[in-house]
Homo-oligomer: A and B are copies of this chain.
Amino acid sequence: MTTAPGTILDPQLLRIGEVAKRTGVTTRTLRYWEEQGVLRPVEHRSSGERLYSDAEVDRITHIRELQDLLGFTLAEIRVALDTEDAIDKLRSAYRSGASPTRRRALLGDAIAANEQLLERVDDRLERVRAFRQSAAEKADRLRRRARELDAELEGRASSTRTPR
């Protein structure tokens, strides 16, 4: 089995191939995302090797959701995640005892960003619901007509079987 490079590797950390395997995202894409500023590995070793944590794995699925479910571009995702990172900053600001006013400001930013996201999600949800509705109605109409047609066919068949 291939283990860590050079110095001993923190078993918590994952190499890019392992991350790719776990998430189904190619290594190429992971590097591309880093280039686009949407996903930074926790560590870049001297050899250039990227190392990721579980947090990044979660983030990857999150990114894919933002892409697939909401149609965000990578640029939009970068912005969204940037403000989301403000929340993490907030936590560390809390631990490091930053001024409450500063913390309150960061929190405000995070809330605003989240609210904006939620709005967009709600909009999308509503539209998908409406679409689903019309599709379901169409399904009903089709099935009803199928039943009618089946009845008609049945009637014919029996009248053929028992003429007069």
Interface size on A, residues (CB 8 A): 40
Q: Which residues of B contact A25 (CB under 8 A)?
A: none
Q: Which residues of B contact A70 (CB under 8 A)?
A: 128, 131
Q: Mark A135-153, 1 if CB is under 8 A from B, else 0.
A: 1101100110110011011
Instruction: Tell me whether A139 and B115 are in contact in the complex, defined as CB-CB below 8 angstroms, given that A100-B156, A104-B153 are known contacts.
Output: yes
A100 in contact with B135 (CB, 8 Å): no
Contact B107 A149 (CB under 8 A): yes
A100-B136 in contact (CB<8A) = no
Q: Does A124 contact B (CB under 8 A)?
A: yes
Question: Given the complex of chains A and B, what is the CA–CA distance between A69 and B107 in angstroms?
Answer: 31
